[in-house]
A and B are shown apart, each in its own frame.
Chain A
Amino acid sequence: MLTFLARRLALGILVMWLVTVIVFLIFYIGPGSADVARALAGRDAPPATVALIAHRLLLDRPWYVQYGHFVWELLHGNLGFDYYHDEPVTSIVAQGIPITLSLIVGAAPIWLLIGVLTGMYSARHPRSVLDRVFTTFALTFYSTPTFVLGVLLILLLYYQLTIHGIALFPGSGFTPLTQNPFEWFRGLILPWLTLALVAAATYTRLTRSSMLDVLGEDYVRTARAKGLGERRVVWRHALRAALTPIVTQFGIDVGTLVGGTVITEQVFGLPGLGWTAVHAIEEQDLPVIIGIVIVASAAVVVANIVVDALYAFVDPRVRLH
């Protein structure tokens, strides 16, 4: 188990290293250096000023020199400073994380609950009316692009309600939890629904097929033959095995979302990690892009390791191997 974890960790670090190299390469083939220096110098600045700024930010050096500098600083626990305001990247990232985490923390339970419960019902009553309803809804939401669902929710649940005098939700913006928990909650309901409904669809489909598989297995028949109650068979015996693919998907989804709430944040104007990254990309602000990409891929790597470790706890069959 320990060697396994060590290997996964080494692989994770390798992945993150490659990710930073790729970001540098993408930036290097792009207009990054020229654009940033010119934007900073101002429109009428003489070329000498532009060159000076480029020089100060190392933008006139080849990418591997910049990369070496970046790694050197990283080894000193420093992610660098943003090109435009000299703000430490760590603090820019730290401002975005609570917002992105708020999104994930609220959306994850919603989609897990909806997805697993509807999926289990569908598996236990295949071809029933409700099964068809759930399956249809799942397929529809599964096909809905996040930004389409987001803008439609804004149109229907924010705008239409508000013009009719029912101001349930604000249309955009973020209130920190520490400042006003109620406003925090109110402002996040629509973004949560946007994220959760699209994700829940995957879980309904996954739970349904996984549960159908497990209910057909010999040990479930044995459990029934022993005379165990149906409730016990389904919830204690079958669900446990059926959960394995769901746990995998859940772990990976949560990890991916750290860098994957870009669209939801953009739709609702929430300045989280994704929103910050999009703006950094527009400004070609390399240190900020790198900082967010590192955090996002680290989340994926950690999520994968956690999922593998969780396997053994969830599915008794895995422990035997």
Chain B
Amino acid sequence: MTPPGASAPSELGTQTEDPHLQSAPATARSIVGRSPWRLAFERFRRDRLSLVALGVIVVIVLVAIFAPLIAKGTGHGVYTQYPTAGLTPAGLPRPPNAVFPLGTDDLGRTLLVRIAYGARVSLLVGVLATLLTVSIGAALGLVAGYFGRGVDTLIARAVDVMLSIPFLLFAIALASVVSVTPLHLGPFTLGKGVPIVVLVIGIFSWATVARIVRGQVIAIRNREYIEAARALGASSWRIIVFDVLPNVLPTIIVYATLLIPVSIVAEAALSYLGVGIPPPTADWGSMIADAQSYYQQAWWFLTFPSLALLTTTLAFNILGDGVRDAIDPRGTAFKA
């Protein structure tokens, strides 16, 4: 299955003799003294495109962190409406000018500051939703793959159900219901906003992670070193956490990196449809939705939030590809 030339000649001899090393992320095993993570890091460092993407992400993160400073520097608040300076006499958004570098929106608010604040919501939801998705998916995948039998059947069926559910329809239904009637979960109350969006994305996207992790675990659960751990009397949980998890971790990390842009898009889509982050919070998805009514008068209102969103997802996707190539250069992690 390996394309010719993709693997170094030195590993051809070891490939079949050393089966449990094969699942480890390293490929250049013959080089002594460097950990697989170190090798992955060095591969990543040579990948110029990914480094650029990483740089872009760092900039976006900084913008998100220092959004209040941008607001202070320009003197425009994120929620402040400027009825005269920010709107034309006809009540339309103002194009980019010296006062408002990216123009204003339909309520006469500054787009620059609002886009900067929008980065906060996008990144926060993107990362939190990915963490939630990966945690649920990895936990269920590990349990299903390791224990097999009834547990496995149950989880595999649950995965089938989740994958057959029309994601957007359910996400909209759940998000709209919860945004009207807050959900009480013991001491926590979930209403509109970031927590519910994170929860909705997490609930509806763990299935793919679970399926991939389960496949990987099944592939390694009967390896000698696992048998050895069992023979030494290690408990199942110990084996899962210390022997199985480290071997599927590269896959999980790669998948998580690729999941961040997907979660960011999901959040923006929910907000675009009006069931995500409620106004007046600055959010790229809802800004695009608002701008759609003004595209004939105010191209900047539509274009700048779209570009912000597109740049972010593109940078994360490039980074994700880079991380995958660095950790798993032969692309074996997703074939199990």
Contacts and interface: CB of A to CB of B under 8 A. Distances in A.
A139 B317 contact: yes
A168 interface: no
Interface stretch (B8-16, B74-82, B136-144, B159-167): B159-167
A86 interface: no
A300 B169 CA distance: 13
Contact of A296 (B166, B265, B331): B166
A253 to B, nearest CB: 13
A21 to B, nearest CB: 10
Interface stretch (B17-25, B63-71, B243-251, B292-300): B292-300
B176 interface: yes
A195 to B, nearest CB: 13
B306 A152 contact: yes
Contact of B309 (A15, A145, A278, A293): A145
Contacts, number: 143
Given A151-B292, A155-B302, A281 B164 contact: no
Given A259-B169, A263-B168, A155 B177 contact: no
Interface stretch (B36-44, B85-93, B268-276): B268-276
B3 A145 contact: no
A297 B165 contact: yes
A289 interface: yes
B295 A281 contact: no
Interface string A269-310: 000001001100110000001001100110011001000000
Contacts of B166: 256, 258-260, 293, 296-297, 300
Interface string B256-280: 0000010001001100110000000
A142 B303 CA distance: 18
B181 A262 contact: no
The A interface, classified by DSSP as helix, strand, loop or mixed, is: helix
A291 B43 CA distance: 51
A23 interface: yes
A293 B169 contact: yes
A160 B177 CA distance: 39
B231 interface: no
B265 A145 contact: yes
B273 A11 contact: no
Interface string B274-291: 000000000001001101
A274 B167 CA distance: 12
B45 interface: no
A143 B3 contact: no
Interface string A124-151: 0000000000000001101111111001
Contacts of A249: none
A151 B302 contact: yes
B321 interface: yes
B157 interface: yes
Given A216-B3, A260-B166, A304-B164, A143 B313 contact: yes
Interface in A224-274: 256, 258-260, 262-263, 266-267, 274
A209 B331 contact: yes
Which of A258, A296, A300 has the largest number of chain B CB atoms within 10 A? A296
Contacts of A256: 166-167
Q: Across the A-B interface, give the 3 residue pairs with the lowest CB-CB distance, nearest first.
A: A259-B166, A30-B177, A296-B166
Interface of A: 11-12, 14-16, 18-19, 22-23, 26-27, 29-32, 35, 139-140, 142-148, 151-152, 154-155, 159, 209, 212-213, 215-217, 256, 258-260, 262-263, 266-267, 274, 277-278, 281-282, 289, 292-293, 296-297, 300-301, 304
